[in-house]
Amino acid sequence: METDSLPPPPEQSPTSTVDAAELRAKLDQLEQQVADYKLLIADFENARRRQLQDAERQRKYAQEPLARDLLTGIDNLERAVEAALTSGDSAELVKGVKATLALFLDILKRHGVQRIEAVAGKPFDPSIHEAVMEQPTNDHPPGSIVQVVQPGFTLHDRLLRPAHVVVAAEPPAGE
């Protein structure tokens, strides 16, 4: 048999263990780079999502300055109608002013502006009402609305202007 002519089996040389350690270190480095890239991608996606949300919010509330400016004109139209009705004037001019007021309110409503329903007797809500005065009364429970001085408005879910209201207070003792 010529087994003497076969080379001896290869033995693990010190260089092969060094190569494995180098490969392991390189693999760890690549895995860390992949993890870093995944974080960068997640950060990019979050930034993109925030940017889309900001753009949507800007679009949704873009008409806010115009709506705020129109509220003063609407208040004046309402005062004109109220003054005409108080004086007993129900002429065609009053009807025209009422129609104009209704038109403005309808246009604002189509663009997301809603009147805050503040009604005498309902509870005062500081998130949508502003108390301009307290009035002692037996007609309404304390902390409820007695009178609406100026209507409030919202734009979608954002407060444009709180409703200015008179709030019921405890009547003085003995009354």
Residues 28-72: pLDDT tens digits?
Answer: 999 999 999 999 999 999 999 999 999 999 999 999 999 999 999
Does one domain contain both 145 and 173?
yes
pLDDT digit string (tens) for 101-119?
Answer: 999 999 999 999 999 989 9
- CB–CB of 168/135 below 8 Å? yes
Q: Does 3 map to a domain?
A: no
Whether residue 7 is contained in a domain is answered as no
Same domain, 167 and 118: yes
Considering the entire predicted model, what is its pTM? 0.68
Helix axes 64-86, 92-110, angle to 10 degrees: 160
Same structural domain for residues 96 and 118? no
pLDDT value for 92:
80
Is the same domain home to 174 and 126?
yes
**pLDDT at position 56, please?**
93
89 located within any domain: yes
Tell me: do 74 and 106 sit in the same domain: yes
Query: Dihedrals φ, ψ of 142, to 5°?
Result: -55, 140
Q: What is the CATH number of the domain that holds 122?
A: 2.30.22.10
The lowest-confidence range among 14-18, 128-132, 149-153, 171-175 is 14-18
Whether 119 and 175 share a structural domain? yes
Q: Do 128 and 171 fall within a single domain? A: yes
Percentage of residues of the chain with pLDDT beyond 70: 88
Q: Do 88 and 121 reside in the same domain of the chain? A: no
- Which range marks the domain in which residue 43 is found? 14-60
Domain count, the chain: 3
Measured distance CA(54)–CA(49) in Å, rounded:
9
Amino acid 83: pLDDT: 87
Q: Is 123 contained in some domain?
A: yes
Residue 30 sits in the same domain as residue 75:
no
